[in-house]
Structure 1
């Protein structure tokens, strides 16, 4: 083969990357808009950044922050445990258990959370006393409802039970994602229903359950601000109490927003690590998704090598 033919063949197979001018234009526009927004926020005197710095680590703000984290953690524990129990009941062959679970989910998902919080806080209006005893018979233990249901317990009951209704559907979806053949194999090996659930179903379902559970946790962190309607002291109540005294509304709202952004960012990083842990064994799928993502972003891998092979 002559040199001319070699050059012609090389020119025929040379890969020329596609020019994506639209991406460059979009990138310039986005960067310009971002610059304008950031400059406006930083230089806006109404933001009162000096006041934001003054109250960012205020004692009352930090106390409200701690209470917000406590509400989030305890409510999510109630929600996750209750959600697993409700999901198992919902899938039970026992019609009474399935019906009770379905009714609970229907009730708590069908009414606004803020309404549930108010009802729990004023439960004494419906039941002045709560106790344990025999129906239509003697009562063994009883107490005044107002002494049992505090603002904290009303907040936890409202947030936790409402979350359990949503977590039940998330867990049920994760359980249904496990191949039915594995359940048949477990039954053939003589495993009980509870052992099959613990050792086979739930470990695999976690890959489906974890991402929405992480989203629910982040949502719960922000949803705790609804307890302001019953007066429980958390982050938003703390900032409201402060700006009701000094009338610095804008900077104190920014203080609350910054803390929420910080906490949700931390939870997002934790969620990513948990997802990575439960995604072990699926590296091939991850690599494939990354490959296609890189291609969508305009990267090219091995074009010259592929051209040479042709």
Structure 2
């Protein structure tokens, strides 16, 4: 039972890692904590659903549609709604993302109400038994896709010139602009990439959780808890925190009470803020320049 709980927790944690990574990428490049990232997750799942059921597209075409749509949507959110507030206090930026979260949920409820819709798995097949552990092919796809995405972004920020420029622009925007770096363009790119990452997580998890307008709220809390546990601004921290949270949820649900699973993320946030506010691999961030 222990092995099954740990492996299942790592599968859940892999999805949390993709969501947390999307939030961390945006925070690392803009210093903004995006409280509407859960809605990017939700909209990605709905984009797949609409493309399949309304437009009649194949799964592959629907995935491309969802990723492109959310990337463009994230870029438009930055250009039209966030950029006018670029010199405003952080609280104004945070309040804007919270307002957008409720707006996107409200629009989704207007069209779909509170009904849930099923989404077929990305891959079918019989369960795979490995000793006492049983996994579905969908689970292996989730883990594999998450690993590829995480490694890709690690490489991007640590090994590419563009990734290093984005980090420099986030730490000292004014200084970066003075040396000719187009800071708004890079930030717009990161909003689009972050929204696309939210869509990826929605595509991976929707077949297991169903699709409904409020699905992003739960995932936002999980990602926020993972970032807090691992350390804000730390890409390895976001991934480590997500995996730990996924395993912790399963262990608590399996050995203590399933009723506590829903509050595990909140308990993790409280404990980390009390014991180690910077998180396990946290790095202190400077204010916007």
Larger RCO, structures 1/2 (Cα 8 Å, 6+ apart): 2
The answer, yes or no, to whether TM exceeds 0.5 is no
Which one has a bigger Cα radius of gyration?
1
TM-score scaled by length of structure 2:
0.25
TM-score scaled by length of structure 1:
0.24
